[in-house]
Amino acid sequence: MGISGFEPSFLVGADAILRAHGSRLAALTGRRLTGFALVRFVEDGDWFADCPVVLDFDGIQVELCHWRLDELSIGWDTIDTTATITGWEWFELTPQWSHSDERFEPFVGQELREAALLEWRTAERDLAAGTVTVEFVFGGGRVRIVNGLDENGIEVGEARSGYVRHGLGR
């Protein structure tokens, strides 16, 4: 993707993600969201949802990226959001880091009350079954980085009832 420092390590399933990242996500509790970054195209401002979503909690950077139907990579302090994204000369649009988004802006400066993993499980057969979402709970609400079935999605507010919540160890 031409993103400086981005070397994803994709995991599948809530258990694998909990083992690898649960305690680090839980340790973000009490820290303030001090910044965020998304990749947008210069020409039209559209969000490129295939690229990682980067959140900064008082100097600890968590980097989330969903891929395929069920894979999630969580990285820590590796992506340089000040560096130019390279290797896109062949494409008609130019990706660049953006620090503006109406879904995240209300949470900047707020203390994180809880981080959680949510697993999509519904009674009916569903292509998204088993996908894992990372939720961040603040005093002013909740924001989730969800699997948009081969890309990231962002949801704000209460989670839909099809999610099973997994507690994070500290």
Tell me the per-residue pLDDT of 2-16, one tens digit each, with 9 for 90 and over.
999 999 999 999 999
Question: Which bin fits 45, alpha (ψ -120 to 50), beta or left (φ > 0)?
Answer: left
Asked if 5 contacts 61 with a C-beta cutoff of 8 angstroms, the reply is no
d(C-alpha 73, C-alpha 124), whole Å: 27
Asked if residues 30 and 57 have their Cβ atoms less than 8 Å apart, the reply is no
Mean pLDDT of the chain: 93
Residue 154 has pLDDT above 90, yes or no: yes
pLDDT at 86: 94
Per-residue pLDDT, 160:
87
Q: Which of 78-87, 95-104, 119-128 has the weakest average pLDDT?
A: 119-128
| 85 within 8 A of 3, measured Cβ to Cβ | yes
The CA-based diameter of the chain, rounded to the nearest angstrom, is 46
Determine the Cα–Cα distance for residues 89 and 135; give it in Å rounded to an integer: 35
Q: Kindly state the helix (H) or strand (E) to which residue 21 belongs, with its residue range.
A: helix 14-26
pLDDT (0 to 100) of residue 123:
64
pLDDT-based confidence at 100, cuts 50/70/90?
A: very high
Residue 68 has pLDDT above 80, yes or no: yes
- Residue-level pLDDT at 129: 73
